[in-house]
Amino acid sequence: NAGVTQTPKFQVLKTGQSMTLQCAQDMNHNSMYWYRQDPGMGLRLIYYSASEGTTDKGEVPNGYNVSRLNKREFSLRLESAAPSQTSVYFCASSELAAVNNEQFFGPGTRLTVL
């Protein structure tokens, strides 16, 4: 099992460009999440999908959109990148969205917006 995979690992964008971060899990989990991690701050939830066919905003959704393509895949789109979106992005999944469920993380995407 690969667990949670993310592509790309690194990306440099210019302000105003768009891109999609891809995430896939092979653990048959129902719930998937997108976080960003900035220096000196905890991981912050951007969007999540409690189950296939549903998506909800997290703490910092502005400037992002998501698509739960199927049970395995959850993508994050930046429509018009801004320097404030320079960050490390982690995708995660859990069996359920229940409060005590362990979340499994992908290796992250390091994004720089110039």
| Contact (CB, 8 A) for 30 and 96 | yes
Query: What Å distances lie between residue 112 and 11, 89, 101, CA to CA?
Result: 6, 11, 31
Binder of another protein out of 47, 64, 74, 90 (CB under 8 A) = 90
Residue 43 as a binder of another protein (CB under 8 A): the answer is: yes
Residue 1 as a binder of another protein (CB under 8 A): the answer is: no
Residue 41 as a binder of another protein (CB under 8 A): the answer is: yes
- Please, what's the largest Cα pairwise distance for the chain? 39
CB of 16 to another protein, least distance (A): 28
Mention every residue, 6+ apart, whose C-beta is less than 8 A from residue 43: 35, 36, 37, 90
Residue 26 as a binder of another protein (CB under 8 A): the answer is: no
Binding stretches for another protein (CB under 8 A): 35, 40-45, 58-59, 90, 99-100, 102-103, 105-108
